[in-house]
Amino acid sequence: MQVSRKSKVAQVVGKELGNIMLEMFKQQGEGIVFTLQACTITSDLSLLRAYYTFFGSISREEMANLLENNIRVIRKKLSTKIKNEFRIMPEIRFIYDTATEEQNRIGNILKGL
């Protein structure tokens, strides 16, 4: 039972977080395409891991700094959207998803064979 609640909560939170991120990057207008790949949440619902990729004119480090600098704003917006789901809002950690890069690298290796 706990697993299904955990996955459902992660899905709902991921959807809302994705909408918030879309809104945030639209307002900045820097030509960045941000994609939230997946969200996972710990069993005690205290930590949300958001896996993302992006395309744009900034580096991976600049994106990590941008997300870290705006984490309070993002968390506040998220808490207003899902206030009925949690007593305490989980901590959010953004993690760059390297799966796409790995797929491209492996594809290039296989093409070279």
User: Taking the complete model, does pTM exceed 0.85, yes or no?
Assistant: no
Is the torsion defined by CA of 87, 48, 11, 6 positive or negative?
Answer: negative
State the pLDDT at residue 73: 93
The structural domains of the chain, ordered by start, are: 2-112 (3.30.300.20)
pLDDT at 2 over 60: no
pLDDT at 92 over 90: yes
Beta bridge partners of 92: 48
pLDDT at 3 over 70: no
pLDDT at 1 over 50: no
- pLDDT digits 0-9 by tens, 49-65: 999 998 888 889 999 99
